[in-house]
Amino acid sequence: METNEQLKIIKRGSAEIISEDELRQRIDSTFKEKRPLRIKAGFDPTASDLHLGHTVLLRKLRQFQDLGHQVIFIIGDFTARIGDPSGRSQLRRPLTKQQVLDYAQTYKQQVAKILDIDRLEIVFNSSWF
């Protein structure tokens, strides 16, 4: 699918695309270099269920998959364990390694209802540390 059609789909439901020109260039490069975009999104497994707000991003990620791009689902197991306070006024309660792994497993099951799990790359952020 050509760049303008992809942009039309990606922009649908988006409030703002920061640097639309850069996104256009990156999509153009996928044709020249014969490789997909790599779209990454991270989720900290701090509870057993993803919430409704997550589905907005997951559906957008599915659009990227349907356009032939590679989606990387980052499970923030390291940040979930340390109680990363990003975007919050209070620290999150620390979780055990087993709690985080259990929650991560439920996340995988839940995202499989929206994303094509066979084309999804799942990465744990603890592998970076």
User: 103: helix, coil or strand?
Assistant: helix
DSSP secondary structure of 3-36 = HHHHHHHHHTT-S--TTHHHHHHHHHHHHHHT--
So what's the pLDDT on residue 4? 95
Structure tokens at 92: 């999150």
Return d(Cα 27, Cα 81) in angstroms, integer: 36
**Longest CA span, the chain:** 47
List C-alpha distances in Å: 94 to 71, 82, 101, 119, 128: 28, 6, 13, 32, 20
Q: What is the mean pLDDT of residues 58-69?
A: 98
pLDDT above 90 (res 23): yes
So what's the pLDDT on residue 94? 80
pLDDT above 90 (res 76): yes
Residue type, 33: E
So what's the pLDDT on residue 89? 66
What is the pTM (predicted TM-score) of this model?
A: 0.88
Strands laid side by side in the 70-75 sheet: 38-43, 70-75, 120-124
So what's the pLDDT on residue 121? 98
Residue ranges per structural domain of the chain? 1-35, 36-127
**pLDDT confidence band for 129 (50 / 70 / 90):** confident
Return d(Cα 115, Cα 97) in angstroms, integer: 26
CATH class of the domain whose range is 36-127: alpha beta
Q: What is the mean pLDDT of residues 19-30?
A: 96
